[in-house]
Structure 1
Amino acid sequence: MNAGDGPSEGPAGNTHQGTDGSPEAGARLRRLLGGQETAWLVERARRRLELGKSLTGAITLASASPEQRRALERLLGRRAGAGSSLSVSLAEVDRVLRGSGASPDGLAAALELLGGPVRDLAREEADRAAAWRDAHARLDAVVADRPDLSGWRAWLDTTGLVRRITPDTDEARTLLDRLAAVLGRLPSPGIPIGRLAAETCGDAHALDDGEPLGTLALSAARALGGSPYAGEGTADARRRAWAGVGVHLDELSSLVLCLGLSGDDRTATGRVLAAARAAGEPCVLTLRQLRRHEGPLVADMVRICENPIVVAAAADELGPGCPPLVCVNGRPSVAVWALLDLLAAGGARFAYHGDFDWGGIGIAGAVHERVGWQPWRYDAACYGAVASSSPLTGRPRPTPWDPALASAMARRAVRVEEELVLGDLLADLAAAT
């Protein structure tokens, strides 16, 4: 029998009592534990140490091969039992290694001699967690002052979006610091997206569609606008989301729908409005037209609606006689804000109507804060007077123009769409004419 091939190499045959680290002890250790047949034992014992567990108890190998059984018998110096499975006490292995001199410091030391230092997985995980906290530090400081972003911030962690975009914490820190700088500027009415990117990140294309920062910032813009964080992937949906925080992608894609604005004969935009009013037709203005208009737009009372159907019906019913009407068409675009600002500068007063749902209340609140308005059939009494069975969903929002409205909506829990009161709105417009 060759040396190391039988039980005589085990504890009963202490013919090699070298000290830990000696060539003789190292060779003996490799013969006993360094082969493929004992790799399962070494790997499982090492895994226990990596997980912070003690080397106690037994480990079992199901369906052990004859070679694996003989290797364990050589290690222990005894028969390894019968059956297909193989079980071994880690405490016994430790005693054998110490007593044989193959590893005088025991099994833990043997594992390091065979495979190098044992990883501390708990410490590694704690270090990774600390690195990710550091990467998010500046962003979290911004979100701490923005309750409307708290849900979005939790969503980032839940979805793992940041780690999917960049698994490296150093790269993530740079990305999230830039994101914090962008959020610090939102909402920012009337700013082109390239300028926002250049001023916050030093790169005019950092917020482009498909860029990592653009993806994260767009989800935050949706959150600020009260929309689903993931949202639709269409160009139009992206444009609307950015418009909700005052950022426009270009001057031609941001539009506003209106009817009955008087215009003037001095400017290009004024002549477009005057011609549309004379024809009794709705007019769509671009942000470019509004930005190039010199001076304010003059009007007395301007009514604001949320949905284009009101404008279309008013044009059909009243034509050239329709009083000034502006449609925000969902979350106001930058062009909507530009038109309302020009009208406000010209001394216009505003009356507002929209959908009685929490999204509509959010839109109304934004317009109320920007230019102020009086309710146009948009209070608690009018809400309660309309029959509806559509369920009201979403997060409640305040109604500072009529605090009773928010309470009534929360209590009744139905939504009332603008189309349900279209006849009343048209009657009001006709009376104003």
Structure 2
Amino acid sequence: MTDTDRLRRLLGGPDTAWLVKRVRSRLERGASLSGRVTLAEATPAQRRAVELLLGRRAGTGASLSVPLDEVDRVLRTSGASPHGLAAAVELLDGPVRDLARENAETAAAWAAAFAPLDEALTARPELAEWRAWLDSTGLVRRLAPDPAEAAGTLRRLAAVVRRLPSPDMPLGRFAAETCGHAHALDEGPLATLALSSARALAGLPFRSDGGAEARRETWAKVGVHLDELSSTVLCLGLPGDAHTPTGRMLAAMRGEPVSLTLRQLRRHTEPMRAGLVRICENPVVVAAAADALGRDCPPLVCGNGRPSAAVWRLLELLAEGGADFAYHGDFDWGGIAIAAAVHERIGWRPWRYDASAYLEATSDTPLAGRPVPTPWDPSLATAMKDRAVRVEEEQVLTDLLTDLAP
């Protein structure tokens, strides 16, 4: 039978509290109660308490070392705690948590919460780095600390990821169809995570730089628009016409870059006729072409990264008018993924965007990211994996302007 009074005298005072705390920590971690525990800079009172517990001098010096096996033996033989040190700590300080079991249960709960998102991402290798970033930053756990709470958020996030990029849809409708509520992506943890996934697909840093304009531009790059004015497309050299508002504007601005809104393009119902249309990825090409060629620049459309709803609408109008397309973009895996999406949707022929052009370009910038197939020239993906450098459009700008010149 436990002698509670004796146990409290031996081990329950303030001068042995550090020892009880160390033993509890070991028990919670599932470690054995063997070996020694040491207290640096022990006070005289702490040293006397250990001497009373062990029935002998506790040595000299600043530190105090206590053999746990001996403490266990003393407690058992004295009757203070017949079941030993572990039982004594529970009697004095309450039940000991099983941290290993708790951690395993928590890990299992989080794995179950992430399961729908991980399933959705099995077919999205381009989001693998973003998924790893979620783990490394702990963003989900900060936004929704409880796995049961996070499960619903991640389930809706999985539905969002499955539908991105979107083929031109207002944010409210997109949210209603993927999350069950038109305002689900306006604010809150789900909105933050969904916007982060959109940034990943658009080739942007995963963490948002904040601001309504950045949010609007991010969604536009994956085909989701907050309104018809936020989604735009930059173009140069489109011939226009004399009988529609957009056509007259293009004709009047011939030689200057023009930014068309989704609203304008939705109200332009006639096909646009332009012959061969070249597509570039970066606005710098459009600016340089306007400076160098002015009104002599042939039709040029800028995707500005992953195409927005306005870009898709303009390309569709041009395709309806019988246009042929030639495409150039950055030689990196993000640029290749964008090119592949445009190639699948409207089709194009390479504009200095094949293996031979890549190998001729000069660059020493390392190529990072996950490889993406290049169906228009399978040898391009092979060349990029072998050479492992990225080539941006700015580095071949002279060649592109030569092609655009009359």
Q: TM-score, normalized by length of structure 2?
A: 0.88
Unaligned runs of 5+ in 1: 1-18
Deviates more, 1:193-202 or 1:368-377: 193-202
Counterpart-to-counterpart distance in 1, 2:395 and 2:108: 54
C-alpha change, 1:47 and 1:319, in structure 2 (3 Å) is: closer
Which residue of the partner structure matches residue 3 of structure 1? Answer: none
Which residue of the partner structure matches residue 249 of structure 2? Answer: 272
- Which of these residues, 184, 208, 225, is aligned with residue 162 of structure 2? 184
1:346 counterpart = 2:321: yes
Secondary structure of 1:174's match?
helix
1:260–1:323 Cα contact (<8 Å) kept: yes
C-alpha change, 1:32 and 1:310, in structure 2 (3 Å) is: closer
Counterpart-to-counterpart distance in 1, 2:251 and 2:57: 103
Counterpart-to-counterpart distance in 1, 2:394 and 2:71: 81
1:165–1:212 Cα contact (<8 Å) kept: yes
Counterpart-to-counterpart distance in 2, 1:325 and 1:298: 13
1:234 Cα offset (Å): 5.4
Residues 122-160 of structure 1: CA deviation (Å, up to 9, x unaligned):
111111111111211211111123222222211211121
Code of the aligned partner of 1:285: L
1:380 counterpart = 2:355: yes
Unaligned runs of 5+ in 2: none
Code of the aligned partner of 1:169: P
Residues 67-120 of structure 1: CA deviation (Å, up to 9, x unaligned):
223323333334434444333332222222222222222222211111111111
1:289 Cα offset (Å): 0.8
Secondary structure of 2:66's match?
strand
- Which of these residues, 214, 225, 228, is aligned with residue 248 of structure 1? 225
Which residue of the partner structure matches residue 394 of structure 1? Answer: 368
Residues 14-40 of structure 1: CA deviation (Å, up to 9, x unaligned):
xxxxx23xxxx2222222221112212
C-alpha change, 1:414 and 1:138, in structure 2 (3 Å) is: closer
1:290 Cα offset (Å): 0.9
Counterpart-to-counterpart distance in 2, 1:287 and 1:229: 26
Which structure has the larger Rg? 1
- Which of these residues, 17, 30, 33, is aligned with residue 39 of structure 1? 17
Which residue of the partner structure matches residue 13 of structure 1? Answer: none
C-alpha change, 1:72 and 1:190, in structure 2 (3 Å) is: same
Counterpart-to-counterpart distance in 1, 2:390 and 2:58: 75
1:253 Cα offset (Å): 2.0
Counterpart-to-counterpart distance in 2, 1:64 and 1:425: 76
2:222–2:306 Cα contact (<8 Å) kept: no
Which residue of the partner structure matches residue 234 of structure 2? Answer: 257
Counterpart-to-counterpart distance in 1, 2:5 and 2:389: 80
RMSD (CA atoms): 2.7
- Which of these residues, 146, 151, 159, is aligned with residue 173 of structure 1? 151
1:424 Cα offset (Å): 5.0
Which residue of the partner structure matches residue 123 of structure 1? Answer: 101
- Which of these residues, 281, 286, 292, is aligned with residue 311 of structure 1? 286
1:29–1:110 Cα contact (<8 Å) kept: yes
Deviates more, 1:173-182 or 1:217-226: 217-226
Which residue of the partner structure matches residue 16 of structure 1? Answer: none
Code of the aligned partner of 1:222: R
Secondary structure of 1:326's match?
strand
Which residue of the partner structure matches residue 381 of structure 2? Answer: 406
Deviates more, 1:200-209 or 1:170-179: 200-209
Percent identical pairs in the alignment equals 69
